[in-house]
Amino acid sequence: MTDVLAPIDLHPLLGTRRSSRLFDPAHTVSDAELTALLEAARWSPSAGNSQPWSFVVTRRGDLGHDAFVQRLAPGNALWAPSASALIVALCRVGDDENRNTYAAYDLGQSVAHLTVQAQALGLNVRQFAGFDKDGLAADLEVPAEWKVTTGVAVGRIHQSVPVDLDPALQERDAAPRERRRLDEFVFAGRFGQPHA
Amino acid sequence: MTDVLAPIDLHPLLGTRRSSRLFDPAHTVSDAELTALLEAARWSPSAGNSQPWSFVVTRRGDLGHDAFVQRLAPGNALWAPSASALIVALCRVGDDENRNTYAAYDLGQSVAHLTVQAQALGLNVRQFAGFDKDGLAADLEVPAEWKVTTGVAVGRIHQSVPVDLDPALQERDAAPRERRRLDEFVFAGRFGQPHA
């Protein structure tokens, strides 16, 4: 984990992205913005064009949003309620007779496309997994062949740091992004042999 | 499946993307381009920053590329060998004591970021799953906690259709892209209830 900055030759939508927790609780996301995000998710690729994704959308102030907030793990309850929208991302895993082994992979792609579109609109996305998925699946009457997988928080980052913001959150958000070096995960010839 | 065109308000890197099979067999991908693609994958988000991805890179002409081609299912053997690079995408699923349930999801995100960067460089990506994964895992000496998941073909689309190109491939590539309508997978309040 030596490199801490995204390289400058990445497309700016990718290179400048980060998953901030510092959502502005005064911001609202418009219908047009939400539609653009979901259209981005829609047009992502999937195995055999199976499109094994669905989304339950809640905006701050909705009853659905409150229900989702009630299911959050304590760590996420510190910041996620300030997001303008909390989206439940589900993938269709199928059943024993017809299992889709690429459902989670394709949902990940779909949310990634949503995230890039959000970045293009000046919005911030932070995904999270810490919530009561079984409880939320019951709340939302999710069929057995679908799996509640992640939460997707969407909103705007605070333009200036508010005085009442949890200092621990600020600190975590100001930390440099870290990733494994390329030679730790890009190989040639066989697994583990760094690509030249 | 009524809508066949991406909406115009999507960012062009997302709205104009498609997974073409019409790779130009004369094109080669440069080191700098490959690095940019892998940097995009690198900087994608993941659960707890676990980064559960790795990639084995082969370029047309490499021994590794030939080995991958030998493992392709017949349908993919028609087009994938013409791609400039074939990348094996793996995710770290862990073991029974320490299972990463978001590994496939996060690998999907990582490949999606790679795909957006490819689009920004004028390159085409088509992912595929039809190949002998166990055989390739053995070829590459992949450890048990890692899972060969997809193949990622990267290259340039033919600028003009060559006369010897399989007409069936051309036809499939010229077909309009189709997706489920938003109201089929975007819900509010509960699963299955269309979002207004």
ipTM of the complex, rounded to two decimals: 0.94
Interchain pair B56, A179: CB under 8 A: no
Task: Kindly report the average pLDDT of chain A as a whole number.
Answer: 92
* Helical segments of chain B, H only: 12-15, 31-42, 63-70, 74-77, 103-120, 133-139, 167-174
Say yes or no to pLDDT of A140 above 50: yes
Q: Given this model, what pLDDT does residue A153 score? A: 98
Q: Given this model, what pLDDT does residue B82 score? A: 95
Contacts of B119 (CB under 8 A, 6+ apart): B13, B16, B17, B125
Segment A107-131 shows an average pLDDT of 97
Amino acid at B44: S
Among A11, A112, A187, beta carbon nearest to B56: A187
Greatest alpha-carbon pair distance for chain A in Å reads 55
Per-residue pLDDT band at B178 (split at 50, 70, 90): very high
How far apart (Å, rounded) are the C-alpha atoms in residues A119 and B111?
17
Least confident range from A59-63, B43-47, B129-133, B152-156: namely A59-63
Segment A145-152 shows an average pLDDT of 98
Smallest CA-to-CA distance from B118 within B188, B8, B10, B20 is with B20
Which residues in A lie closer than 8 A to residue B35 (C-beta atoms)? 182
Interchain pair A108, B113: CB under 8 A: no
How far apart (Å, rounded) are the C-alpha atoms in residues A119 and A59?
19
Q: Given this model, what pLDDT does residue A1 score? A: 36
Looking at the complex, report in whole angstroms how far the Cα of residue B24 sits from the nearest Cα belonging to chain A: 21
Interchain pair A10, B39: CB under 8 A: yes
Least confident range from A34-48, A100-114, B20-34, B153-167: namely B153-167
Which residues in A lie closer than 8 A to residue B57 (C-beta atoms)? 186-188, 195
Looking at the complex, report in whole angstroms how far the Cα of residue B55 sits from the nearest Cα belonging to chain A: 5
The string of pLDDT tens digits covering residues B117-150 is 999 999 999 999 999 999 999 999 999 999 999 9
Among A36, A111, A129, beta carbon nearest to B109: A111
Among B36, B142, B178, beta carbon nearest to A191: B142
How deeply is B193 buried, as exposed, middle or buried, from its count of CB atoms within 10 A (0-12, 13-18, 19+)? middle
Q: Given this model, what pLDDT does residue A5 score? A: 47
Q: Which of B76, B113, B117, B193 to mutate to test the interface with A (most CBs of A within 10 A)?
A: B113
Which residues in A lie closer than 8 A to residue B173 (C-beta atoms)? none
Q: Which of B3, B21, B39, B86 to mutate to test the interface with A (most CBs of A within 10 A)?
A: B39
Q: Which of A17, A51, A56 to mutate to test the interface with B (most CBs of B within 10 A)?
A: A56
Q: Which of B3, B14, B21, B139 to mutate to test the interface with A (most CBs of A within 10 A)?
A: B14
Share of chain A above pLDDT 90, in %: 81
Amino acid at A152: V
Cα separations (Å) of B100 from A135, B52, B94?
21, 8, 6
Ramachandran category for residue A31: left, alpha or beta (phi over 0 → left; psi -120 to 50 → alpha): alpha
More confident position, B188 or B162: B188
Among A17, A55, A62, beta carbon nearest to B187: A55
A178 SS3 class = coil
Interchain pair B150, A195: CB under 8 A: no
Q: φ, ψ for residue B179 (rounded to 5)?
A: -145, 160
Share of chain A above pLDDT 70, in %: 95
The string of pLDDT tens digits covering residues A10-54 is 999 999 899 999 999 999 999 999 999 999 999 999 999 999 999
Looking at the complex, report in whole angstroms how far the Cα of residue A89 sits from the nearest Cα belonging to chain B: 10
More confident position, A47 or B176: A47
What pTM was estimated for this model as a whole? Answer: 0.95
